[in-house]
Structures are given as C-alpha cells and as structure tokens.
Structure 1
Amino acid sequence: MTIALLILGAYGIFAWLVFYKFKLLKFNVAWGMVTFWVGFHVLFLLVVLLRFFAPYTIDGHVIRQTIQIAPRLPHPTLLQDVFVTQNQPVKKGDKLYQFESTLYDAQLAEAQANLVEAQQNALILQEDVVLAQDQLAQAEANETFAAEQVKRYTDLVPKGGARQETLDQWTAQLAGAKAQVAEAEANVTKAQLAVAAQIDGVNAQVAAAQAQVEQAQYYVDQTTIFAPEDGRIISQQARPGLVVGGFRIASIAAFVADANPYFLATFYQEHLKFVEPGQPVEVALDIYPGQVFTGKVKAIWEGTGQGQIKPSGNVPNFLFMHPQGRFAVEIVLDEDPALKRFPGGAHGAAAIYTGGGGEWVSVLRRVNMRLYAWVNFIIPFDV
C-alpha cells in the first residue's frame, strides 16, 4: 500500500509538472484519459512485479521454542520451594522447583526393603534345591533297602525261614518308599523351576523388586525439577503451596529455551512463486525502529493447517469461501543468526528479493522497507 501511494504521488507530481507547471502539454479530456490509463497500467505493472519479484509481508515474528514444565508425580504433592523468579536466566541443570518428597522417600525405602527380601528369597531357593536333592537321595536309599528286604524275604518264606506277614510288611514299605522317591523327585523339579525363573540371569522376584526400586527412585527424582536447558521462565505463577500430581495434567510453567530460535514470516501463497532458499531478505523489526536487518531465506514451509484433515467420525466440512492459508518462510539473519538480542514474539516486516523484474523492483521494495522501519518511531500513535 505504501509503495502504491508513493507511485501515485510521484505520477501525480509528474503530471502536474507536465500540464501545469511547465505547460509542456495542454490538459484536456483526451490527455486526461491518456494520463489516467498510462498511470493505471504503470501502477498495475509495478504492483504485480513487486508482489512476485519482491514479496513483502508485515506478518513476521521471532519464534523461540518452549518446553512445558509439568510435574510427573502420581499423587497430590505440595510445592515446597521455587528457586526461579520472573524472567530470570537459568542454565541447564539449575533447580527450578522442589516438591515435598516424604511420601516418595517412604515408598523408595519400602521398595528397597522388598528388594533385600527378594534377594534373600533367591538365596533360599538355591538352598531349597540342595535340600530337595538330599531328600531324594534319602528316599532312594529307603527304596533300595526295602527292595533288598523284599527280595530276601521272598526267598525265605517258601523255605519256612520267615513268616508271610514280614514279607507283606516289607512289600508295603517298598511301595511307600517308591512313593516317597516320586514325591522327592517332584520337589527337586519344583525347586529347580523356582530357581530357573529368571530374567536376563536375575531371579524374577528380584527383578520385579528392582523395578519397584527404580520406579520409586524415579518419582523421588521428579520431586525436584531442573532446567532442561539454558533459558528462562517468562511468567512465574507457581508458588509454594501449589498442589500438583494426581489428576493434574496441565503444566505449571512455560520454559523459553535460548537455543535454536528462528524468524518466521508468512506470505500469500501465490507470492512465493519465485522464492527459493538462499535468496536475500530484509527484515524490519518493530522493537528496533529505523533499523533494517539483512538475511537469507532458509526454508519455505510448504503447508498449512488447511491441508490437514484430522481423523474423526465426522465428514469434512469444506468451506469454499474460507480465506486461503499463508505459507511460512523461515529466515536467517546475517547479523545475529542465533537471534540472541531478539526476544520471542518480536514482530516485524520482511521482504524477499528474488532478483527478477530488474533492479528497480528491488529499489522500490527497499524504499518500502525503510519507510516501514522509520514509521515505527511514531506508530502506534499513543503518547
């Protein structure tokens, strides 16, 4: 709009100089129509060339990535201490919040006690195998002795050297000894199976107890929240006495990271026809009136939310008159690629110079960018 007004103004001054100031031509209806149509086509041509060969937008923002700080505690837990203040820079690993840990310390101690008990039980299982094997050996010895007695009395009874009742007793004892051997063998197998219940060479009960210890230790660790990386918490609303955990699923703070910010500007889709990565860019940020920063196109985000249909049971409702979505262009600034001096959300204008249409197209757009930058000294008009 600014460029169009400037062109109209320049053309109007030119017409005034020709027809009124120097009176090179006499103004009449015919010359009026010619002047109008020439001006209209010049304006139209310039606007079209600017839109495609030097696309421009006032919808640009510095984007900083955020991390949602959400306590991962299974029970309602009291916030005990807050170690960070509003907008305070912190380093990775600095303490942010401390929650009351009595319950989780007790659960850890209980889990550690269960682990010790499970380890002792694993040792007992080894001894159970030895005991079962000893019992099997004794049962086999009893069976062997009973079998010999049965054989001896089987030879003596027909010769009158022993009574039939004695043979019957030893026969019954042999049957009982065989039953004891079978029971002892089953006990050995049972004890061996108990010992063989392992996960990666560790007794199953010990592994389960160890897992409980690790889970309890995890929740103890979660009672202290540390900074995930360098950054700051912009709005510090959490205060001691806040209860989190249980059914709470929302975060308690937004952590703004220092690393990997980027400048994102949105353009109408058709204006990106000749835009490619690596082309020069100028950016004018509202936070720095009068300054224009140079940069390059890093990437074009070729997609918008209008190109997504989320899975659902509803038939899509296509609104044909809905305004088109813009495409975002990621821009890297030459002066400060890490954007250390630019806060997240900083707004500004951006122009991309594709090199098409001649140098005068770029010159007009550069004038436009500098007008935007200098007008930021007085806009908005609140004093």
Structure 2
Amino acid sequence: MNAPVSPAAAAEASRLTQPAPPPRRRRRWLLRLLPVVLLLALGLGGSWYWTVGRFLAETDDAYVQGDISVLSARLEADVLAIPVGDNQPVRAGELLMRLDDRDARLQVRQAEASLDEAVAAEATARETLEQLRAQIGAARAQVAQAEAEQVRAAADAGRTRALVGGGWSSRQSNDQAVADQRKAEAGRQAAEAELAVRQRAVAVQQAQLDQAAARREQAAAALDLAHRNASYAEIRAPFDGIAGNRAAQLGQLVRPGQRLLAVAPPPEQLYVVANFKETQLAGMRPGQPVEITVDAIPGVVFHGRVDSFAPGTGSQFSLLPPENATGNFTKIVQRVPVKLVLEPGQDPAALALLRPGLSVVAEVDTRADPGAPRGVLAAAAGTLGLR
C-alpha cells in the first residue's frame, strides 16, 4: 500500500522533472557584442601605442642619487664632543664634531715664537745694513782725506827736492819728505781698499737681509698653517642637509683621513640616475619630461626632466672595462646613465621621504609634443581628430 504524498512534495517533484527553459536573449546579445568590444579595445590599445606608447622610454634600472659629502679627520686627536645626533637635519656651518685641539694650539704658539724670532732677525739684518752704509760714507771721507794728504806730501817732496838741489836743504829733509809722500800714497790705497770692503759688505748684508725676510715669510706661512690645523679640530657641515653614518664615538682617537660622518643633501636637491638601454636613447633629449615612481613611496608620481647624459656607458667606468677585441663575441645591449632632475613645486611631504639609493621607475616622454595627453581615450580622440 502506497503512502500518501503531500502537495508540496508533489510540486517539487513536478518542478524537477520539467525541462530547462531556453537561454535568454540577453546572453545571445552579449555573445554577439563580445567581438565588437574586443576589436574596440584592440583599436584603442593600438591607437594609444602608436601615438603615445612607442614614444615612452621606461626603465626600472634607476636609483635616487645625491651628492653626499663624507667628512674625514684632518689631524690626529681625540673626539671631545658630538653635538648632533644620527639622521639629524643640519645647517651649513653647524658644528658636527669637536676634536681635542691642545696639541694644535701648542703648535700655534711655537709658530708664533718662530715668527717673532724671524722678525727680530730681519730687523737686526736691516739695522746692520744701515750701519754698513754709514760706514761706507766714513770710508769715502777717509779716502778723500788720504788723497788730500797725498797731495800735500807730494807738494812737500817737490819743494824739498828743489831746495836740496840748490843747497838750501839737507838730504835728510828730502828723504823724510819722500817717505811722507809714499806713506800718503799707501794711506790713500788703504782707504780705497777699506771703501771697497765696506761696499762689498753691503751687498753681502743685503743678501742676508733678503734671507731673513724669506725666513720671516716662511715663519708666517707656518703660523697660518698652524692656525689652519687648529681649525680642523671643529668639523662643520659644508651645506644644509642631513647628518648620518657616524663612524666615530666620543673619546675615540682619530687619525688624518679617517672617516667620521657624512652629510646627505636635502630631499629637494636629490636627483635620479637612470640606466637606459642604448636602444632607448634615439629620441631622448635634455629637457624632456619624466615621470618617476619610487618603490618606497607607492601611489606618488614625481615629475622631472632629462638633465644630461653620461660621457660613456656604465661598463666603461667599471673597475675592469670590457675588451671585445679577442676571443668569441656576444653582443650585449649597453646602458647609459642619464641624470634626471626633479621639477620644483612638488609635494613637500612626498619629497621628504626621498633618500639616496632608493629604487625608482623612470619613464621619459620622447614625443615632439610632450605636453600632449597620455591617456588611452585622449590618444584615440587625437587620432580621430576630435581634439
């Protein structure tokens, strides 16, 4: 005997046994429109590539760069103070590190004493020169006196000789007059020799004065050098930037040439070096616009321009440049570093996040009209002449 069946169960069984309804018309229309949509998308993509895409040179081999100044010690001393902390913004001329300058100040005092000694030696040489010049005047007067004495002695000898011939004077008087004449001549010659010695002594003393002046200049230069070395005890920021990478600690003994810390430029002075393939450089020129995206700052697009091109490919500046003149050869596409600078007036908050060394993606617009829109619809409208 069969069990009775409820009306609900009978309705469900009837629904399941009915055939499926035919597909709707809307699905048919969608299938018919699908090729049209695909053709339209293909046309828009082709139009964009032909008018925009093929003129965009893009590379991810690009990095943020900055002219980082590495500060080193110029003298051997202990570190006394480090007023700045790591990653702290600094201003140009701000004190970053102070070294012990006691040895340098002692060298300054020693150089000052040497300069005083050299100045005194120069003054002594100058006074000696003036004294010798005065002695030359006295020697010339002695020469004149000797010449006058010679003239008198010669006259007396002549008169005595005449008197002896006339019998009015003795031969002894004549001999005495002749001796006086010869003595006067010898005195004149001695006075002239003394004058020559004094004149030559002036030339020698003038050379000694020049030597003393040179020693004074040398001592003055040594003093300037000592002052300069003393100034190296204070390490100051060369420009506005951010201090970091400190390699010295308080109380540490540092030596000349030892790296102490570095100062990186502020974010607005950073730039990008992009290594483009040589096949991408055909239409690239300085001044063309660039869109830069930084991996560490997603969602932000920085605007820049092409500044300059490196004088050679990156391989030419490597430690071991390639030499392809021997052996087998495989052509490898080379890359040329291109410097990209940021345009002013960009988001300060985004710029503050830039750091040298960050990876970026750079896209250069090499079109004749780089100000034209880059969008797909705008490119299609330009192709159809609608704008």
The CA distance in 2 between the partners of 1:142 and 1:264, in whole Å, is 87
Answer yes or no: is the 8 Å Cα contact 1:78–1:100 preserved in 2.
Answer: yes
Q: Please say if 1:222 is aligned against 2:232.
A: yes
Q: Deviations over 1:266-308 (max 9, x none)?
A: 322212333344444333222222x131524232425444574
Q: Deviations over 1:69-127 (max 9, x none)?
A: 02223xx3333322222111111111112222222212211211222222233333332
Offset at residue 228 of structure 1 (A): 0.7
Answer yes or no: is the 8 Å Cα contact 2:292–2:304 preserved in 1.
Answer: no
Answer yes or no: is the 8 Å Cα contact 2:316–2:322 preserved in 1.
Answer: no
The CA distance in 1 between the partners of 2:130 and 2:252, in whole Å, is 57
Answer yes or no: is the 8 Å Cα contact 1:294–1:334 preserved in 2.
Answer: no
Q: Deviations over 1:307-331 (max 9, x none)?
A: 7489x9x997227436333232514
Aligned residue pairs, count: 327
Which amino acid in structure 1 is aligned with residue 355 of structure 2? P
Alignment correspondent of 1:186? 200
- When residues 275 and 316 of structure 1 are mapped into structure 2, their CA distance, relative to the original with a 3 A threshold, is closer
Which amino acid in structure 2 is aligned with residue 260 of structure 1? Q
Answer yes or no: is the 8 Å Cα contact 1:62–1:261 preserved in 2.
Answer: yes
Q: Please say if 1:274 is aligned against 2:283.
A: yes
Answer yes or no: is the 8 Å Cα contact 1:135–1:184 preserved in 2.
Answer: yes
Answer yes or no: is the 8 Å Cα contact 2:289–2:370 preserved in 1.
Answer: no
Offset at residue 253 of structure 1 (A): 2.3
The CA distance in 2 between the partners of 1:359 and 1:155, in whole Å, is 115
Q: Deviations over 1:343-371 (max 9, x none)?
A: 2223222323344899999446x9xxxxx
Offset at residue 191 of structure 1 (A): 3.4
Normalization by structure 2: what TM-score? 0.69
Unaligned runs of 5+ in 2: 1-26, 161-172, 379-387
- When residues 273 and 72 of structure 1 are mapped into structure 2, their CA distance, relative to the original with a 3 A threshold, is same
The CA distance in 2 between the partners of 1:307 and 1:237, in whole Å, is 32
Offset at residue 162 of structure 1 (A): 5.9
Answer yes or no: is the 8 Å Cα contact 1:277–1:298 preserved in 2.
Answer: yes
Which amino acid in structure 2 is aligned with residue 108 of structure 1? V
Offset at residue 181 of structure 1 (A): 0.9
Alpha carbon RMSD of aligned pairs, Å? Answer: 4.2
Which amino acid in structure 2 is aligned with residue 181 of structure 1? L
Unaligned runs of 5+ in 1: 1-17, 26-34, 367-383
3-state secondary structure, aligned to 2:70: strand
Which amino acid in structure 1 is aligned with residue 324 of structure 2? F
Equivalences for residues 2-21 of structure 1 within 5 A: none
Answer yes or no: is the 8 Å Cα contact 1:301–1:330 preserved in 2.
Answer: no
Answer yes or no: is the 8 Å Cα contact 1:276–1:297 preserved in 2.
Answer: no
Task: Decide which moves more: 164-173 or 253-262.
Answer: 164-173
Q: Please say if 1:299 is aligned against 2:291.
A: no
Answer yes or no: is the 8 Å Cα contact 2:315–2:321 preserved in 1.
Answer: no
Alignment correspondent of 2:334? 325
Alignment correspondent of 1:141? 141
The CA distance in 2 between the partners of 1:331 and 1:94, in whole Å, is 27
Q: Deviations over 1:182-232 (max 9, x none)?
A: 11111233334555x39xxx9433322211111111111111111111112
Alignment correspondent of 1:3? none
Task: Decide which moves more: 177-186 or 252-261.
Answer: 252-261
